Amino acid sequence: MTFEKLWTEKLRLCSCGCPEETAKFLIKILSAYEVAYRGDKPHDEFIKLKKMADELLGNQNTFYLLMYLMDSQGWFEHGSGIGASWLSEKGKEILDDLIALENKNELKMD
C-alpha cells in the first residue's frame, strides 16, 4: 500500500498541507501509547512513557481533542477515561502500516 492510499483512503484524511510530517508525528503518538499500555512494563516505565505521549500532544485541549478524534475512529480502546486509553487492533494496524512505510522510506505522497 502506498502512503497516499493509506492516508487518503484508509485513514480518509486530506493530502494537502504536510501529511508526511503529520504522519511522523502520528507514529510518535501511537507508538508512545502502544508501548505505555502494553502492560509488560514496570510502573515507573509506564509513567515515563505516558508522560512522553502526553507531552507530544501539547496542552490539555489539544490532548483531549486528539484523543477524542482518535477514539471516535476506533484507534483506541477507551479505558476508564479517555486519557487511559490504549491502542485497539485498528490503531495497531495503522501504526504498523505507517512504520512499514517509514522503514521503506516511502512515507511521502506520490
Q: Helix or strand or coil: residue 100? A: helix
Please give the residue range of the domain that contains residue 41: 19-99
Q: Is residue 24 in some structural domain?
A: yes
60 lies in some domain:
yes
For 14-33, the pLDDT digits (tens) are 999 999 999 998 998 888 77
The answer to whether residues 18 and 3 touch, using CB atoms and an 8 Å cutoff, is no
Q: Flag whether the pTM goes above 0.85.
A: no
- Cα–Cα nearest to 108, from 30, 19, 9: 19
| CA 54 and chain centroid, separation | 12
In this model, does residue 36 exceed pLDDT 70?
no
Residue 79 lies in a domain: yes
The position carrying cell 487518503 is 8
Task: Indicate the residue type of 90.
Answer: K
Supply 54's cell numbers. 502526553
Q: What is the CATH number of the domain that holds 68?
A: 1.10.10
49-59 average pLDDT score: 71
Number of domains forming the structure of the chain: 1
